[in-house]
Structure 1
Amino acid sequence: MGERDHLPLFGVGPAYVACILLTTAAGIAATRIGMLPRASVLELELPLVVAGAILAALAVAVWVMGAVVSKIDAHAERNELVTTGVYAWVRNPIYSAFLIACLGAILVAGNLWLLVLTPIHWLALTLLMRRTEERWLAELHGSTYLDYCRRVNRVVPWPPRRRA
């Protein structure tokens, strides 16, 4: 396990969250002040705002379930693998919540060019998790964690797959 006996409560996650929030905010700000061209479809403006607001509400709910309801900090301190509640639907609900919130903000802002940020944010999260937390959890929990990974998506909340 090395120098630590549990995952850090504030490891790489806050840096990831800060980066996606900053790039999203920068894109929206650049659009607002005219530095970035705006790609929009007038007929989709209201549906995009509604979809963005729904995603923002979903993001808050996912974050609350992942951070508060599950009491993830206490489980992390005890090296317990949480696979129930929102963690049965997505392995990284706290990070997913911020990704969903950024997508919601992009939709509300109405610049379709900014949608390119979402797959970039997803890829960054995927690479980051593979190289950090997932390696550590696989080492700590072995086949239990690997089975969990086969059943539950890393980033996109989705009903878990049944065991084979």
Structure 2
Amino acid sequence: MGYLDGGRIDPLKIPMYVMGTALLASGVWLCLGALKTGRLIKHIKERKLITTGVYAWVRNPLYTGITFIVTGFIFFENNLFLLTLIIFFWGIMTLSVKSEERSLEKIFGEEYRSYKLKVNRCIPFFPKNRSL
């Protein structure tokens, strides 16, 4: 029992656990994929834009992965009050990503703008362009 037990949604317990597990697993997969793809700072210093691996599915796999992990844990709690935090957390993440993307556009120019047209910012999906 926690401090916010009044917001429990018991009929949704199993679906919330299933969603939480899926989000947690997806988040871990995205984070590990991003770390496996390469050392980001090294690639930025070398002016090399990464568009392969998980970066072909989503432009910001670390941000998205961490957000999925946090959201998964919130779903495990099955608490209406905590679910409202997801909106706040995604908002903060989006502001961080937009700031970072402005920097990446300055560094990589047209190459990054073209990449943005092909790959989603935060929600992973198969790339629109298979050549990535």
By the TM > 0.5 criterion, same fold?
Answer: yes
* One-letter code aligned to 1:140: I
Conserved in 1, the CA contact under 8 Å of 2:10 and 2:78? Answer: no
Gap regions ≥5 residues in structure 2: none
Q: Which residue of 2 aligns with 1:27?
A: none
Q: Which residue of 2 aligns with 1:88?
A: 56
Task: Tell me if 1:56 matches 2:24.
Answer: yes
Task: Pick one of 113, 119, 126 that aligns with 1:152.
Answer: 119
Q: Which residue of 2 aligns with 1:26?
A: none
Partners of 1:156 and 1:122 in 2: how far apart? 11
Task: Pick one of 43, 48, 58 that aligns with 1:75.
Answer: 43
Q: CA deviation at 1:72?
A: 3.1
TM-score of the superposition, structure 1-length normalised? 0.71
Gap regions ≥5 residues in structure 1: 1-30
* One-letter code aligned to 2:81: W
TM-score of the superposition, structure 2-length normalised? 0.86
Partners of 2:22 and 2:97 in 1: how far apart? 26
Sequence identity (%) = 35
Residues 25-52 of structure 1: CA deviation (Å, up to 9, x unaligned): xxxxxx71x2x35323322112211221
Conserved in 2, the CA contact under 8 Å of 1:122 and 1:155? Answer: no
Task: Tell me if 1:143 matches 2:110.
Answer: yes
SS of 1:50's partner is: helix
Q: CA deviation at 1:162?
A: 4.2
The alignment covers a number of residue pairs equal to 129
Query: Relative contact order, CA 8 A, sep 6+: which one is greater?
Result: 2
Q: Which residue of 2 aligns with 1:107?
A: 75
Task: Tell me if 1:47 matches 2:15.
Answer: yes
Partners of 1:159 and 1:121 in 2: how far apart? 24
Q: CA deviation at 1:93?
A: 0.3
